[in-house]
Amino acid sequence: MDADAGTLTCPAGQTVRFDPGRLQHHKGFVVSFAAEACGACPLKARCTPAAARQVTIHPYEVELRQARAYQRTPAFRERYRLRARIERIVRQLKTHGARKARYWGRIKVRFQLLLAAINHNIKEVMAAGPPVGVVGPA
Compute the 3-state secondary structure of the chain and give helix, strand, coil in percent, each to the nearest 5. Answer: 50, 10, 40
Tell me, yes or no, whether 56 and 85 share the same domain.
no
Within a domain: 35: yes
Q: Are 98 and 120 in contact (CB under 8 A)?
A: no
Domain containing 26: what range? 7-68
Contacts of 27 (CB under 8 A, 6+ apart): 59
Q: Are 13 and 39 in contact (CB under 8 A)?
A: no
pLDDT score, position 13:
82
Q: Are 16 and 29 in contact (CB under 8 A)?
A: no
Could you read off the pLDDT of 107-120 as tens digits, one per residue? 998 998 888 888 88
Last residue of a domain, one of 68, 95, 118: 68
For the chain, the domain total comes to 2
Region 82-96: mean pLDDT is 84
Cross-strand bridge partners of residue 56: 30
Last residue of a domain, one of 68, 89, 113: 68
Tell me, yes or no, whether 57 and 86 share the same domain.
no
Closest among 62, 2, 65 to 28, alpha carbons compared = 62
Could you read off the pLDDT of 54-74 as tens digits, one per residue? 888 888 988 999 999 999 999
Region 79-87: mean pLDDT is 87
- Enter the pTM of the model: 0.53
pLDDT score, position 122:
87
pLDDT score, position 135:
66
pLDDT score, position 66:
92
